[in-house]
Structure formats: structure tokens, C-alpha cells
Amino acid sequence: METSELLKKVRKIEIKTRGLSRNIFAGEYHSAFKGRGMAFSEVREYQFGDDIRNIDWNVTARYNHPYVKIFEEERELTVMLLIDVSGSREFGTFEKMKKNVITEISAILSFSAIQNNDKIGVLFFSDTIEKFIPPKKGKSHILRIIRELIDFQPKNTGTDITGAVRYLTNAIKKRSTAFIISDFMDENPDLEMALSIANNKHDVVALKVYDEREKELPPIGMVKLKDAETGKYIWVDSSSRKIRKIYSDFWNKHISRLDTMFKKCGVDYVSIDTKEDYVKSLMTLFKKRAVKQ
């Protein structure tokens, strides 16, 4: 993509998503993703009812009077975006492809993070780790992320979410909030274990982006379908009720498997349809998390 065209797209995404994150998500993001650590703040004289485990014995000995340590929540977070750049993200039958929705959601989360003084990093993955951008702060860093979201060209087309989750666990030492943004069309049985391990170390959130035509096949006769990840084509008779039922049954089993897996792993999860308003879905997720805090 030419530089001038890319800059126009970056600016368009920036204007839209920065406004959303500032005007809509600011409070919800802060409430939903609080810092989980506790940092030492100051000492004060012991008061009746204080936890004796917080007594600062050095200060107590110096003043010959009990003092306790005061802790406050560490507000700063490290946010990681694990972004699926496999071939299936190019699918879309309405106004937007999955890729476009993933880009906008990622940009919103990036601006929300920076407005809360959080660091943010990105991991692009297909069936390999395509690119890792270490967590940093600053507007220039966010704009670099948006440029990559728009213009990044992956080497591979397959999907390996398990490998990306394991990379997160090993590469990010400090506890982070990690958003996995994918269509989750990966049936690897090892994903559940990888998610459980990652969610014990980090706070993992799953955002599934899908297109309505992945749920059900319309009766429009013979259709040539392409697997975006393998490049293989297949002809399907969509006028057949049996074929359409097989198609929808596969989707229902896929969603049921994901629901079960995320619940077992303790991972918060939301599905986002490309033709629907993703703002509503994200707000629902954020408010649900805020209640749980």
C-alpha cells in the first residue's frame, strides 16, 4: 500500500476509534480492567482493627510505636493484543470483512489503554508467530500499531491459536490483560490447556469475530466455497436441506465447544458479528467484568 493511502487509512481509523474509546469506553475500560497488583504507598500509625501482618517493624522500632504499611492498587496495566492474521480473516459477506472489524476493535482497545496510562503490545499470529511488538506507551506507539493492523501482510495463512497463547505465557513475564482477537476456527485440542495455563498467569479475554454466513448457508443453489487457509475449493448444493443442516450443526457444535472451553478455563468471552455494532458487544463484556471485580 502506498504511504499516502496508508496514512489516510490510519487517520480515518484513529479519528473513529479514539473518539469511541474516549467517549464511550473510558469509564467501562477502567472499571473492567483494574490493576491487580498492590503497591506500597506509605506508613501511618497503627489503629485498632488494622491487620497486624501489615505492621512495618523497622518504623515501629524507630519510633517505639506501632506503624502499618498502606498499600494501594497498582493502576498501570500491561495490555497485550493477540491478533489472528490467518487467511480466514479475509471473509465477509456484508459491509465489513472480519479483518476490518478486528482492526477497529484492536485500535479501540489500544486507545483505551493509552488513555489509562497502560502499556500495550501486539502479537500477530497465523500458524506461526508473525510479528511481536513489545508493550510500550505513547501515541506514536499506538499509531505504529494501527499502521501494522492495516498494512501487515502475514507470511502464512493457517491458524495456531495454541502456539500464540503459549508464546504469550513465555514471552510476557509481568501479569497482563491479554485480548485474543480471532474467529477461533482452530480445533486444536491442546488449546484448552494452553488457555488455562495462560489465564493463571495473565487475565485472558477472548473476542470471537465471525460473519453471519459462517452460521448458516442460504438456499441459493450450487455454491463454490474456498477454504481461505488451505486454498482448497469445494462445490456445495446449498438448496439441499440436509447440506444446510450439516452446515449449521457444525457451527452450533463449534460454538458449544468454545463456550465449554472458555468457562472451564475461566476466560471471559464475547462473540461479535461483523454486521452488528461491536460497541454494544464490548460494552456488555466490560460491564459484566466490572460487576465481577
The pLDDT profile of the chain, 293 residues, written as one tens digit per residue, is 666 776 677 677 777 777 777 766 666 776 677 555 555 557 888 888 788 888 888 888 988 889 888 765 555 689 999 999 998 877 656 667 888 899 999 998 998 888 878 899 999 999 999 999 999 998 899 889 989 988 899 999 899 999 999 999 999 988 899 999 999 988 899 999 999 999 999 999 999 999 888 888 888 888 877 676 677 888 888 788 888 888 889 889 999 999 999 999 999 999 999 988 888 888 888 888 876 65
Place of cell 457451527: 251
User: Most distant CA pair in the chain: distance in Å?
Assistant: 88
Distance CA 20, CA 30 (A): 14
Residues in the chain: 293
Domains and CATH numbers, the chain: 3-33+77-292 (3.40.50.410), 38-73 (no CATH)
Nearest CA to 40 among 61, 54, 57?
A: 54
Looking at this protein, which amino acid is placed at residue 67? Y
CA distances to 97, 120, 163 from 167, in Å: 27, 16, 6
List the grid coordinates of 205. 479475554
Nearest CA to 111 among 133, 83, 75, 142?
A: 142
Contact in structure between 68 and 51 (CB atoms under 8 Å): yes
Contact in structure between 193 and 165 (CB atoms under 8 Å): no
Cβ–Cβ contacts within 10 Å for residue 126, how many? 22
Radius of gyration (C-alpha) of the chain in whole angstroms: 23
Distance CA 134, CA 226 (A): 35
Distance CA 57, CA 150 (A): 55
pTM above 0.75, yes or no: yes
State residue 37's pLDDT score: 52
Q: Which residues, 6+ apart, have CB-to-CB distance to 73 below 8 Å?
A: 34, 35, 36, 37, 38, 39
Per-position b or e across 269-291, b if 16+ CB within 10 A of its CB: bbbbbbeeebeebbeebbeebbe
State residue 51's pLDDT score: 81
List the grid coordinates of 50. 488494622
Distance CA 143, CA 18 (A): 11
User: In 3-state terms, what secondary structure has residue 68?
Assistant: strand
The three-point CA angle 206-188-218 to 5° equals: 75
